[in-house]
Structure 1
């Protein structure tokens, strides 16, 4: 009796919270793997990212303020302060619609194939193969060229940062010859690929650190340049209302051409979809991360841009910069010393490298996913996953080699960076818009069963997304300034057409007979 009574009054055994949490995570990952299998694929990559880590990686892919710093030249030419600030706000609002639209679809089809898989599933049986083929090639070319643009832009930005130190007024200490710039680009590309390949398990923590690093750097920059402002401060009316174009285009079109600045910084929005097979609960985590990141980026961008415009000294001189990198001179002018300027630029330079690593990772997953469905020549080589490193190493190397080959364009024209960034934005924007347009035209039937369905708001976002895609494609094929010279011509249309020719020839030679699309189990 006494023994029985003691058992009745005893406390229940303590719950092992760590074990319970581990079991819950395992259950979520099993569910995600099961969903992937129903979509036609065998899970091959580790699901090592949480919702916050996905959002942080998405943030790093955009890398505000780095993405805005390297391309500030375009809105500065296009319309000055109005284009810099209000162009950023306008494009950010549009990209929120793009992220929401992609989020709805990704919630239903969360695979590393991303938009090309989605285009296949959403299109009618008659058109789905060609729809997914075109979308896939747009997506992969966009991923590779935007990664190239990031690493090349970082190179040009680093050179401009070094040259805040001068041998004499107006003459930097580093000549920055074409071959020197190309070698720096090679070194940066190799480094980003090495970190992405050998440090894969640490990348989520690197992305997390990048977020705190970014805001610390932005706040330090904002406070310092506004407090010191050696050349004085512009008034608010000028900062938020002054329009001055140096592009040669009519005012309205000049403003639009200057939007490449904001479009480039936000073009990575959908690249995070390629990480769906390394996320624990991609059907909810990835859509939330995409939308939340754009909101955070918008705020971070304004914190960076508004103080810069307050301390801009001479728009004309900045528009005539040979380097086409106005941020280092603006900061040097504001703080009044080369040492102080480089101290404020270092956080942006570090963020540039982090952005390159993130884009390299996303581009490799995109390449691997498209090769997995046999859509890239030599697919059997690129589809292999290195089990030791837990990365698609061959696909990563293919992406890197293509970037290096395209980088040779710089020897022919100093406007190469414009081509890389332009074609990346064009391809990614078109790739994002294709599944959204198909979903919209088919009555949005499939997205209604997703966990991120937005109802009438989603329809509005779809319309904005498609309209933006139709505008962006011709817009970013335009030269930044007119009249056009050999040095200022925009090679983006050339790279774009060449990539589409490769896609078309491969489809004619092989794809139309052999490419069946993703290995779906059911429609």
Structure 2
């Protein structure tokens, strides 16, 4: 892999040295992008990987997305995961190339501004920043809504399926979980890296336990495992789409599950040796999800009820709960669901940490309403963006009110995650392909001659995945309850963001802002008049 070109030293603010926030190498690289060090660097390479791996939470994520893949049968579930996850891995590689060269918390919108043509850099950067921010918010809502359903599913199992939660109960549990995640995210900052390390072990433990316990429990209860021909060759179609398209729609399971490796990017300004830690965190997390997910789904397919519809229409409200119940009985199912709940909680905790860094970075560049308020970093709480976390909580609790309507309304909101993030991921990669041939300077991680072909495949996949995310999963003539509202919700977000930009933000949003004095910076070469204007406002000549 190519090494980073030598760079001129950049002045380091005395305040950073005095607080011991980081080492000079990371400070200088960040300063070349125009930013001073404000957060505390305390995450090792393994812990950066742990953030993304924890947010993916492989087994609970698979449990949450079985409804996307099971309609295609076991073969669609297993092979759909493998095919899509390999393509998603190319996105991780393309992102890792840029993350190594330019590791900053605002990553995606910063890269877009850096690579895009002069006419488009501000508007595209603005769109990507809002898409990424709202995609992360949609992810937070989705994680805690799913966690509330998992908690209430355990209550249903304990009562032998004779109880179901009302919408008000679901929302109450959801709002409580959001608040608890916020408090934990703020006050566990000192031990958060250790929590992330723990997340690796508990996620690996549930994978190993699931892979061993499901087949052993199935056999112990006197049932036989499904043969390999069923696991890898049996195709169902519980939709009204053609069978081939039903198989393609099973890609939505890995699209939903392997969707947060960009969290490594948002932790860039807290990573030790970020030029190496961030890209490795991205590719390790995406690669592990590909391989381990295929293994877990193969075991699930071998142990599930051969009648797929019996699992998809479980009385417990969760297909995975039914699979555990069939193989392990009531106590075993409750035990495993309890562990999944713990992991799902840790997913939400890691996600609110990563999302708050995106909100903080975007506020630092003046793009969000009340940016001066949300860009504040609390030195009393170990250099945490406390106000950004508080803002996220308020938005999530308000958005979560859709839970009070019905599950369809709630799922419409949560569709923000896939489509918005795919726009946010694909735009900087596309900008690099179109305009960035001379602007891209490799970092410590670089895929070399394969870099542009990989980026091309990644853009094509993201475009396809974006379109796929807008299809109704049940068939071409959906009812109001089965309709996919992704285009409505995301269309509103994109139109609203662009309207806000045209009417107001274009007058003051200039892209990444300079927050440090330096002899030169990467933004100088691509921002031109914008940087000079920003420096003039900051009192620089």
Output the TM-score relative to the length of structure 2. 0.88
Cα distance between partner residues in 2 of 1:476 and 1:118: 25
TM-aligned CA deviation for residue 28 of structure 1 = 7.3
Distance 1:444 1:93, change over 3 A: farther
The corresponding residue for 2:326 is: 333
Distance 1:70 1:466, change over 3 A: same
The corresponding residue for 1:372 is: 364
- 2:464 pairs, out of 459, 468, 471, with 471
Q: Does the 8 A contact of 1:439 with 1:445 survive in 2?
A: no
Q: Does the 8 A contact of 2:51 with 2:263 survive in 1?
A: no
Cα distance between partner residues in 1 of 2:21 and 2:173: 46
Cα distance between partner residues in 2 of 1:443 and 1:505: 28
The corresponding residue for 2:7 is: none
Q: Does 2:344 match 1:344?
A: no
After TM superposition, what 4+ stretches of structure 1 lie above 4 angstroms from structure 2? none
TM-aligned CA deviation for residue 487 of structure 1 = 2.0
Q: Does 2:350 match 1:361?
A: no
Distance 1:400 1:101, change over 3 A: same
Q: Does the 8 A contact of 1:58 with 1:293 survive in 2?
A: yes
Deviations 1:263-299 (A, max 9, x none): 1111101122011010111111100111011122223
Q: Does 2:434 match 1:445?
A: no
After TM superposition, the structure 1 = structure 2 runs for residues 389-468 of structure 1, keeping only pairs within 5 Å, are: 389=381, 390-442=383-435, 444-468=437-461
SS at match of 1:484: coil
SS at match of 1:65: helix
Q: Does the 8 A contact of 1:28 with 1:281 survive in 2?
A: no
| Structure 1 range deviating more: 438-447 or 231-240 | 438-447
TM-aligned CA deviation for residue 160 of structure 1 = 2.1
Q: Does 2:245 match 1:253?
A: yes
Q: Which has the larger radius of gyration?
A: 1
Q: Does the 8 A contact of 1:447 with 1:453 survive in 2?
A: no
Q: Does the 8 A contact of 1:104 with 1:447 survive in 2?
A: no
Q: Does 2:501 match 1:507?
A: yes
Q: Does 2:24 match 1:35?
A: no
Cα distance between partner residues in 2 of 1:91 and 1:205: 32
Q: Does the 8 A contact of 2:96 with 2:445 survive in 1?
A: yes
The corresponding residue for 2:229 is: 237
Q: Does 2:374 match 1:382?
A: yes
Q: Does 2:487 match 1:498?
A: no
- 1:184 pairs, out of 167, 173, 194, with 173
Distance 1:248 1:161, change over 3 A: farther
Cα distance between partner residues in 2 of 1:261 and 1:100: 20
Q: Does 2:129 match 1:136?
A: yes
- Structure 1 unaligned blocks of 5 or more: 1-22
Deviations 1:396-452 (A, max 9, x none): 111121112221122223124532443201111111111111111235333343222
TM-aligned CA deviation for residue 324 of structure 1 = 5.0
Cα distance between partner residues in 1 of 2:240 and 2:504: 45
Deviations 1:27-78 (A, max 9, x none): 972111122122111211000101111111111011111111111111112x
Q: Does the 8 A contact of 2:101 with 2:275 survive in 1?
A: yes
Q: Does the 8 A contact of 2:30 with 2:37 survive in 1?
A: yes
| Structure 1 range deviating more: 497-506 or 106-115 | 497-506
The corresponding residue for 1:20 is: none
Deviations 1:82-110 (A, max 9, x none): 22111111121112111110111111211
Q: Does the 8 A contact of 1:76 with 1:84 survive in 2?
A: yes
